[in-house]
Structure 1
Amino acid sequence: MIWKKVLLMALGMTVAIALGTLTELKGIAQTPTDLDLAAYHAPIHYQDTDSTKYSSDYITRFNYDGDWRGTNNWDNLTAYPLNAYAYYSVAETCTHRFITYSFFHPQDWTDTPFDQEHENDLEGLLAIVRKDGSTYGKLEGVVTVFHTDFYSFTPSTSPLTNGSESIDGTLTLSSYNGSLHPLTTQEAKGHGLKAWPYAGNFDGNSSADGIIYYPSTTTAEVPASGNDRSVLYSLIDVFASGGLWQNQLNQASSSTGITYANWGTFRGDSSGGCGAGLPTCSNNSANTPWGWDDSNDGAVYRGEMALDPAHLTDVYFNGLGNFDTTYIRNRYIQDLRDRGYNSSNLPLGWPSQINLNTLSGKLKTQC
């Protein structure tokens, strides 16, 4: 009988330990995939459209026409369906995750005389997410790309305050699919992006042309018209095999790449009618997140929104509290180092203000 008591005691201890472990795990946040993290915080996106040429304001992916050639995206606009996509990437420090989102248009266009057009257009935002112990963290602010200027916006409950740059407005959040999403908006034609409703003239009202895009992990819809109020856009990882970033790395030392003219800049020309009539057409004028630049933000340099978002955040804002500026994950820096790029072997067109060896030194293996 003694052995039975010992066995029951052992079983009881095992159950108690298991229950205790489960209790402890309840307080530990699960680690989300990058896709789930991006989807949780992805913008509900208000795209202003112009009735002169609705389709030129539809968001899509760079290779919507089945190839990675940058010089035929303007030309092929009406020949292929414009399923809705947005690109994302995630970098991580011990205190924050930084998510870039970018929306691609094949044409940056105008119907105004003496204005300028260009092939390809990619503008977006940086989402600053504090790791607060919850699974997905808390969104503290965004910095958006409006042509050659950046604008920052924070939710009403954010601790962030003005840093070297002033906060430009309040970020509105709306519930969708079980989480709060920032509302963003883009102009028609030129596609400058800000928090809603600070750009364009479409805020969802029935009297203006526009599309409201909602994020999805699986579905990329084509708008029914330039006045569609519910279109799903699918999220694409910038680092996906054969995608935007891999093509950049493959063409980083070439001046003849079909996708990129140089570091962070898409190749684009005047074929297909770009600049037809009185507008002019500017070649090689659209930039990627690692090529985005604000023209007057001081010690934040071209491409840092993707390459070094913690530094950009540290400059733009105060009120950051406990804030880490080195990375336990930053695929941009890691891949450049793995490809053998350093301060003595730079990609063609690399910004001179950024020391690549110093950037690589911001990687670490653990907190």
Structure 2
Amino acid sequence: MVGRSRIAAALSVALVSIGLAAPAPAGAAVGRAELALRWAPIHYQDVDATGSHALGGRSDYLTRVDFDGDWNGRNNWDRAGQAGASFSAAVYYSVAETGTHWFITYFFFHPRDWVDHPFFETEHENDGEGVLLAVQKDGSTYGVLRSAVTVAHTSFYSYTPSGSTWTSGRETVDGTLQLQSSPHDSFQHPVTAQEVQGHGLKAYPQYRINGDGLVYYPSDRGEAPSGTNDRDVPYELIDIFADGGLWARRDAAGLFANLGTFAGDTSGDCGVGTYSCGTNSANAPWGWDDGDDLPGRGEIATDPAKLSAEYFTVPGELARAYAYNPYTAERADLREAARTAPPVTD
């Protein structure tokens, strides 16, 4: 009990310092910010520093959508290459809750999806990949992790940690979700990884660092990497539903081309020396889609209980009615947007 008290106290200090809800006292419900911090991934990011579009490796650094001080999605490719561009590490999250589970979506953003050769690959402005975690309520403070579904371009990959009671459903489980201790707290965190350039995201070690790379750890603050081979980079967590944040700006024409798809153009050197530069090619979580699978566009974030029931065989109850789901009020709009949206190209 002493260990748990120390953990709760440390989390309380961290969360209060960034204006987030402090851990609930014993017997009270855990806060969503605290829950997201508890289960946030330790994240391995491979880095390629070669080629002019790599920006010396910075094109593979995680950062905020508004890293350049504005919410214009059509200038991010160019602004990433300017002196003084901030690459302070950040990951976005949202939490949905049913009577039996919490579902936590994490969104990882890069200003560039890039290549360093001329052969039949397209690069584009903005890049968004991520992971959905399903956490079962078992009476403990933070629950027990049961599964992960990651986003790698236009495909989803499913994983379970060792000892999980969840098994393959309509989709075959693609591997084991590893857990790793963090030097910044006393928890075991799930471990994810992203490839260079296109930034597909899978469970570690299905992607791994090859040479230079970054290891990101969830924290109460974000820091920029000290270089291309920094193995301890703290990242901050940002609520997708924060006032004035990503979801609040979902209809902003400068940021989104349509619901769930970031606006991006061909300005600057995007596509120069490569096959081509795509436009409006990256997606926020409510735009993620694996077209070969049954769940609809964006449902990995907006209806994660449905997706989990499709992807996995779940013993016992997996409640589908939401006690909390900020996307729910927009469900009709999201369904219509999914029906009429252009093909996903990320």
The TM-score by the shorter chain falls in which range? 0.7 to 0.9
Mapped partners of 1:353, 1:271: distance in 2: 27
Distance in 1, Cα, partners of 2:115 & 2:336: 29
* 1:275 equivalent among 264, 267, 271: 271
Which residue of the other structure, out of 184, 189, 198, is the alignment partner of 1:190? 198
1:59 paired residue number: 62
- Residue 242 of structure 1 corresponds to 244
Letter in 2 for 1:209: D
Alignment length, in residue pairs? 307
> 2:339 matched to 1:352?
yes
1:232 aligned onto 2:241? no
- Change in 2 beyond 3 A, CA 1:312/1:347: closer
Uncovered stretches (5+) of structure 1, i.e. residues with no partner: 1-26, 252-256, 355-367
Q: Verify the 8 A CA contact 1:262 1:348 in the aligned structure 2.
A: no
- Report deviation, 1:35: 1.1
Distance 1:48 1:131 in 2: 34
Q: 1:225 & 1:349 partners in 2: Cα distance?
A: 44
Superposed displacement of residue 30, structure 1: 3.1
Q: Distance in 1 between matches of 2:152 and 2:260?
A: 17
Question: Is 2:77–2:268's contact at 8 Å kept on the other side of the alignment?
Answer: yes
Matches within 5 A, 1:89-238: 89-114=94-119, 115-176=121-182, 177-199=185-207, 201-202=208-209, 208-216=211-219, 218-238=220-240
1:74 aligns with 2:80: no
Deviation at 1:348, TM superposition (A): 9.9
Residue number in structure 1 paired with 2:286: 290
| Matched AA of 2:201 | L
Q: Which deviates further from its counterpart, 182-191 or 72-81? A: 72-81
Question: How many percent of aligned residue pairs carry the same amino acid?
Answer: 52
Residue identity opposite 1:61 in structure 2 = R
Any unmatched runs of 5+ in structure 2? 1-24, 342-346
Task: Write out the 4+ residue segments of structure 1 that deviate beyond 6 Å after TM superposition.
Answer: none
Q: Which residue of 1 aligns with 2:16?
A: none
Q: Is the 8 A contact 1:60 1:82 kept in 2?
A: yes
Q: State whether residues 110 and 279 of structure 1, in contact with CA within 8 Å, keep that contact through their aligned partners in structure 2.
A: no
CA deviation profile, 1:168-189 (whole Å, cap 9, x unmatched):
0001001221211001000000
Deviations 1:180-218 (A, max 9, x none): 10010000000000000102x41xxxx7111000001x2
- Structure 1 or 2, whichever has the larger Rg, is 1
Using the alignment, how far apart are the partners of 1:105 and 1:276 within structure 2? Answer: 19
Preserved contact between residue 102 and residue 123 of structure 1 (Cα < 8 Å)? yes
- Give the corresponding residue for 2:261: 265
The separation in 1 between residues aligned to 2:274 and 2:295, in whole angstroms, is 36
TM superposition shift of 1:77: 0.5
> Secondary structure of 1:302's match?
coil
Q: TM-score, normalised by structure 1?
A: 0.81
Check 1:311–1:353 CA distance in 2 against 1; reply closer, same or farther (3 A cut).
Answer: farther
Per the alignment, in what secondary structure is the counterpart of residue 40 of structure 1? helix
Letter in 1 for 2:226: A
**Shift in Å, 1:113:** 1.1
Residues 116 and 274, structure 2, Cα contact 8 Å, conserved in 1 = no
